[in-house]
Amino acid sequence: MKKIFYRKNSEFNFFAVRNGILSEWPRYLFFIFGIYIMEISSGYCQNSPYPPSTVIKGITLNWSTHMRSAQGSDNFQLTWADDNNLYGAWGDGGGFAGNNNNICRVSLGVSRIKGSGNNWKGEDVSGDPDCAENEATFKGKSWGIICVNNILYMWVVSDHEYGHSNFVNLARSFDHGASWEKSNWDFNHNDKLSIPTFLNFGKNNDGAKDEYIYSYFIHFEDNEDMNFSKEK
């Protein structure tokens, strides 16, 4: 897995470094500061860089509070936005208003979750036009979304038909997921990076301890197959 640091420019301009070339994405972009590789092995990590917690001894889940919604729409990583709502991307489903049986099913949608933990509601912001507030304008999958300075950012990975390692784009939304624009740069199969996510810290990422935004990627080797295409 690769960990990528992004440094925020004080003038809120985005710059992307790719293969040593600096390109600008108007108004706001991330500066790729550095890449570190962390070896991940299946099962328990024998060489953990940190000792076991002396505070957290275990986790117990209260299944009496368990609820299911938007069934069939997977991934659903979430970010806590400036408007106090949660936003999350999902794939291969119909979101909250559709289902997994081809009713309003899309490749990539975005939903808003508002309310309290005991009284919440899911709304599809982007997806099929018959069910969502706005029509999704591109396909793909996402495992990472974050809100920074009132703007949503989402990693977009190529869809099943191309394999998840074909490309990775960064998309942004100035209207809380109603519309999106994608970067004019990407990571591709030669970069051996796929399925990234963001490290979120609090509402609008205001809890961040420094001026960086952190992303985590799967770094696959030459002998690994990241083409998860469905069988025909």
Identify which has the larger pLDDT, 42 or 55.
55
Average pLDDT rounded to a whole number, residues 85-107: 90
- Report the predicted TM-score, pTM, of the whole model to 2 decimal places: 0.75
The H or E element containing residue 122 is strand 120-127
Which CA distances in Å does 16 have to 34, 109, 157, 231?
12, 25, 17, 36
Average pLDDT rounded to a whole number, residues 146-159: 92
User: Does the pLDDT value for residue 30 go beyond 70?
Assistant: no
User: Does the pLDDT value for residue 188 go beyond 50?
Assistant: yes
Give the confidence band of 167 by pLDDT, cuts at 50, 70, 90. confident
| pLDDT value of position 17 | 35
| pLDDT value of position 162 | 59
Q: How many helices (H) and strands (E) does the chain have?
A: 0, 16
Average pLDDT, the chain: 77
- Please tell me the least confidently modeled range out of 54-58, 71-75, 131-135: 71-75
Top-ranked range on mean pLDDT: pick from 60-69, 117-126, 160-169, 190-199 = 117-126
Phi-psi region of 52 (alpha: psi -120 to 50; beta: other; left: phi over 0): beta
Give the confidence band of 46 by pLDDT, cuts at 50, 70, 90. low
| pLDDT value of position 88 | 95
Average pLDDT rounded to a whole number, residues 179-185: 91
| pLDDT value of position 22 | 32
